[in-house]
Structure 1
Amino acid sequence: MKNLPIYLIVLFLISCGGDPEGSNSNQNLEISYEIDTVMVDAGDHFFFVQFGLGMSDVDKSQKLFYNFNNQDLKMEIIDLENLKLKEVKQFEKEGPNGIGGGFIMRVQLLPDESLLFYDFVGIHHVAKSGEKIATYKLEEIDWKGDQLADDEEINVSSLDTEDGKTFYGFYGTQGFDSKILGIAEINLSDQSLRLFPSDFLQFTNAFDISFSMGDRGAAKFPEQNRIRVVDNKVLITTTAKNELWEWDLTQDSLINHAYQSQLTSNSKKGNYPMQVSSQEEFRAAIQEKNKEVSFGTLIHAPNQDKFWRYHKEMDRMTAGDTIIYKNVLTAFDEELNQLGETAFPEKFKNGDPVFYLDGMLWQFLNVDDEVAFVRVKPSISE
């Protein structure tokens, strides 16, 4: 057993959430929490931690964590109740149950325990048994309803679903200078498409870092704009600003929720180079950008009737040029009103993915290439 970091302490902090005029912050409640760290027993297995467990999902009913190794096409299933590896499932690349040779960039577990594998061109739907149900190549579907222009496409990596049939995601232009043009609703059962054109996220392009060599684009470091479907709510967040949006499906309109933090900035400032022409400049610009505020996704806590969210901003630099962040936890009610916020201790680090289970926010921690989870148990009171 490795020595655990200094998260094995219990902390009680007071919320600093305010009630600024014109925002969705309508209360100033006290947030308290406990923090611990737990290790997962891997036995003789070596976990795939190369992408920080970024291709994972959780079966909350059975308390199982699914971590996908997209290089060997293996699924590592962790028993979160007993904190040990339960099994490793091997998936096929080719053949009738193959999930393709493309780069799998995201996995999603459905309520029936079947899995969705998202790659650059579409979605592979695989049953719990490992038998493939279907592969959907989105560009080859003759959609009913709304139509995409020739230079437009659905951003597969942005898609989210609750039932594996109706998906929500962004659509927009292709290529290096791609733009989000709105939200798409696709139904794979009847192959219908509905588009909601909107430029509400165009402002995030101003914070992108572009690396160009001559007149050719080489790489881009964009903001992370995400869609998540929660209890039939289509929620959109961005790392760039202390806001979120809800797509009202009945009215076909966007509802904006703007918030005010008393602990950090409420938007990126863009105090870094936006255009660079070398890898060294690119890395340096990214380091400068990483000092600015960054907002995480909403984490639903249904048994608390709340949402939680992490965000962070540079507090200071050490003498060794290490960024020390101020990490903040914010609480929202089911109507997405901000209830309060509080700062974590300096040694706390947050990062994706985060999930909610058993009253706690779980977050992966790499301990010498072994899997550990930092668990935050938050509560809120008057």
Structure 2
Amino acid sequence: MNKYIFLLLTVLSSCNRPSEEVEAPTFSISIDTVKVDSRGEILFLNYFLDISAVDPSQKFLYNMNMMESVLEKINLETLSLDTLIQLDREGPNGIGSPFKIIALENGGFVFSNNYTLRHMDANWQVTKQTTLARKPYIMDLLPEGKSISVQSNGISMDGKYLAGIYETSKMSDKPDGIIWIDLEKETGKIIPTAALDFIRDNNLTLELDGKKRGGFSTAVFFEPSEDKILFSTTSKNMLMVYDIPTDSLITKTYESKLTSNEQKPGEAKTITDIDEFNKLRQENLKKVTFGPWNLDHKTGYRWRFSKELDHTVGEDSLVFKTVITAIDKNFEQIGESQLPSDFIFPNNFRIHDGMIYTFLNMDDELAFVRLKPSIRHE
């Protein structure tokens, strides 16, 4: 945490700092830093805004304070705290312990812990609860012995659809395919496919005393809708588009001049020594890693960050390069640009008014490193 703050502050040390231009073949990025007025409140910064969502208007960011079950409503236009909303953790309108939240157009929310989804209306009443491993219509879809991966599933931004991997419980097994669920109509389908078999390359499984204690694997990011499922992974420079009505899959592969285009395949391994596991995990983290594609509803462009080890300083200080890439409405690559050396690959990012916001803890106050793309139509 402290290293993250220090590295960013060495480049972005002031909210009044002049913009820095980064050129790319078809777009340029200017970067500045802005600070949020917390109005005297202590905002929850522990999870790097991992459990947060921008509403469909892109005006408000809702950040979940997991310790207090408080939803912090932040106005992105005024860059100030708007409201603190106290929620219940338990009870009929409890939100549980969510890993993901979605702000809906009707003022409601979806709170998900990857096992259970809770739909809440604008009056903070839970209107629907879906436990993925218990709903008969979901269990009837899955072949015997298969389940939905809790690490790799995604919910549509309107809260109506879910897509993910279905597989066995063994990390060494290749995934069986993709499951798509209509949460409103309580229907769905399974799509057997070998297209994601490669995500088991470089798998690490930690076993202690004969029991699985942890693992490291390629992540898959899903973006489902009524008629399509978009998905990409952390290990390949690509985007897959599955068309539901025609039962067809298109794979868009991209070429980067700034990073590798995929992680070199290796063998899946089961490790029984925690030190060896941590060592191998650190080696995997040096490889190129691709984040999720994030849609800018205003422009129709999708943006993504990627990173790869650039060089080592001394014996153990690693310096990564971070790259931002854009694709258009037809999923064609617009361009890519390497960001300043002290820009850190973000855990997540949000888009407001065509600008990309990444989290920054500035002296225990919430701030954003803000990237402003300018597309050149040649």
TM-score by structure 2 length?
0.89
Q: Which residue of 2 aligns with 1:24?
A: none
Secondary structure of the corresponding residue to residue 236 of structure 1: strand
AA of the residue aligned to 2:295: H
Of 63, 66, 83, which residue of structure 2 is paired with 1:70?
66
* CA deviations over 1:125-168 (Å, ceiling 9, x no partner): 11122111111122222218962123212235513124323322
Q: Which residue of 2 aligns with 1:256?
A: 251
Quote how far apart the aligned CAs of 1:200 are: 1.2
Q: Which residue of 2 aligns with 1:359?
A: 354
Contact 2:323–2:338 (8 Å) recurs in 1: yes
**2:101 maps to 1:107:** yes
CA 217–144 in structure 1, closer or farther in 2 if over 3 Å, else same: closer
Equivalent-residue separation in structure 2 for 1:321 and 1:60 (angstroms):
43
Equivalent-residue separation in structure 2 for 1:214 and 1:56 (angstroms):
37
**2:11 maps to 1:6:** yes
Q: Which residue of 2 aligns with 1:148?
A: 142
Quote how far apart the aligned CAs of 1:350 are: 2.2
Contact 1:142–1:191 (8 Å) recurs in 2: no
Of 206, 221, 235, which residue of structure 2 is paired with 1:240?
235
Q: Which residue of 1 aligns with 2:115?
A: 121
AA of the residue aligned to 1:116: V
AA of the residue aligned to 1:337: E
CA 168–305 in structure 1, closer or farther in 2 if over 3 Å, else same: same
Quote how far apart the aligned CAs of 1:324 are: 1.0
CA 274–174 in structure 1, closer or farther in 2 if over 3 Å, else same: closer
Equivalent-residue separation in structure 2 for 1:160 and 1:69 (angstroms):
21
Report the more deviating stretch, 333-342 or 44-53: 44-53
Equivalent-residue separation in structure 1 for 2:122 and 2:187 (angstroms):
26
AA of the residue aligned to 1:50: N
**2:276 maps to 1:281:** yes
Of 361, 374, 379, which residue of structure 1 is paired with 2:374?
379
Secondary structure of the corresponding residue to residue 298 of structure 2: helix
Of 328, 333, 341, which residue of structure 1 is paired with 2:323?
328
Q: Which residue of 1 aligns with 2:260?
A: 265
**Runs of 5+ consecutive residues of structure 2 not aligned to the other structure:** 1-5
Q: Percent identity?
A: 32
Equivalent-residue separation in structure 1 for 2:181 and 2:284 (angstroms):
34
**2:57 maps to 1:61:** yes
Contact 1:146–1:195 (8 Å) recurs in 2: no
Equivalent-residue separation in structure 1 for 2:368 and 2:53 (angstroms):
14
Equivalent-residue separation in structure 1 for 2:267 and 2:249 (angstroms):
31
Q: Which residue of 2 aligns with 1:20?
A: none
CA 40–147 in structure 1, closer or farther in 2 if over 3 Å, else same: same
Q: Which residue of 2 aligns with 1:309?
A: 304
Q: Which residue of 2 aligns with 1:44?
A: 40
* CA deviations over 1:270-323 (Å, ceiling 9, x no partner): 589944333322322222212110011112223333222111111101126222
* CA deviations over 1:33-90 (Å, ceiling 9, x no partner): 1100111122332222222111111014151111112333221111111112212212
Of 131, 146, 162, which residue of structure 2 is paired with 1:137?
131
AA of the residue aligned to 2:23: I
Quote how far apart the aligned CAs of 1:266 are: 0.6
Secondary structure of the corresponding residue to residue 12 of structure 1: strand
**Runs of 5+ consecutive residues of structure 1 not aligned to the other structure:** 16-28
Quote how far apart the aligned CAs of 1:95 are: 2.4
AA of the residue aligned to 1:222: S
How many residue pairs match? The answer is 366
Quote how far apart the aligned CAs of 1:231 are: 9.0
Secondary structure of the corresponding residue to residue 21 of structure 2: coil
Report the more deviating stretch, 40-49 or 144-153: 144-153
AA of the residue aligned to 2:361: N
AA of the residue aligned to 2:241: E
Report the more deviating stretch, 219-228 or 85-94: 85-94
Report the more deviating stretch, 146-155 or 290-299: 146-155
Q: Which residue of 1 aligns with 2:342?
A: 347
CA 161–30 in structure 1, closer or farther in 2 if over 3 Å, else same: closer
Q: Which residue of 2 aligns with 1:215?
A: 210
**2:175 maps to 1:170:** no
Contact 1:141–1:191 (8 Å) recurs in 2: no
AA of the residue aligned to 1:58: V
* CA deviations over 1:209-243 (Å, ceiling 9, x no partner): 22222533211011111101479642101000111
Quote how far apart the aligned CAs of 1:198 are: 1.1
Equivalent-residue separation in structure 2 for 1:182 and 1:228 (angstroms):
15
Of 295, 301, 312, which residue of structure 2 is paired with 1:300?
295
TM-score by structure 1 length?
0.88
CA 60–35 in structure 1, closer or farther in 2 if over 3 Å, else same: farther
AA of the residue aligned to 1:257: K
Instruction: Give the superposed CA RMSD.
Output: 2.5
* CA deviations over 1:161-193 (Å, ceiling 9, x no partner): 243233222222225546532222212333212
Q: Which residue of 2 aligns with 1:94?
A: 90
Contact 1:273–1:285 (8 Å) recurs in 2: no
Report the more deviating stretch, 150-159 or 188-197: 150-159
